[in-house]
Amino acid sequence: MKPGIFVNLPVKNLERTVTFFTKLGYKFNQEFSDANGTTMIIADNIFVMFAVDTFFKELSQKEIPDPEKYAQCGIVLMAESRAEVDQLVNMAVEAGGIARDDFQDQEFMYGHSFQDLDGHLWEVSWIDPDAFAG
């Protein structure tokens, strides 16, 4: 298997999480899904496993911090354009997420973020590929 990334995040309601991210255009791998968790496909070798919080706690052997008070992690999704950044954040809000007031608008980089239904932070960023060309 080629290198990739598999992020695990705790969720309270798996069905609600799947509905939310499906509205954002993401697909799920049913081969890696059951009542305890489901796997969202971000790209060829990039996945997010949403695990029901009791199962996540069992796997991690640690307490789960309250995402309303503490950041568990920040996940950055790369977009292909500035418009795609806005589109994804707007879709997240329409699906019940919360847009954050942390716009980044520089000539070579543009970003915005949202909080999902479980309080996880998702930043969506675009970086101008010409800004770093040789």
pLDDT tens digits, 87-108: 999 999 999 999 998 888 998 9
pLDDT of 129 over the 80 cut: yes
**Residue 71, pLDDT above cutoff 90:** no
Q: Domains in the chain, ordered, with CATH?
A: 1-64 (3.10.180.10), 68-134 (3.10.180.10)
CA atoms of 9 and 103, how far apart (whole Å): 24
Q: Is the pLDDT of residue 117 over 70?
A: yes
pLDDT at 126 over 90: yes
What's the average model confidence in pLDDT over 52-80? 92
Q: Residue 132 pLDDT > 80, yes or no?
A: no
Q: How far apart are CA 59 and CA 28, in angstroms?
A: 21
CA distances from 58 to 46, 54, 63, 98, 117 (A): 23, 6, 9, 29, 22
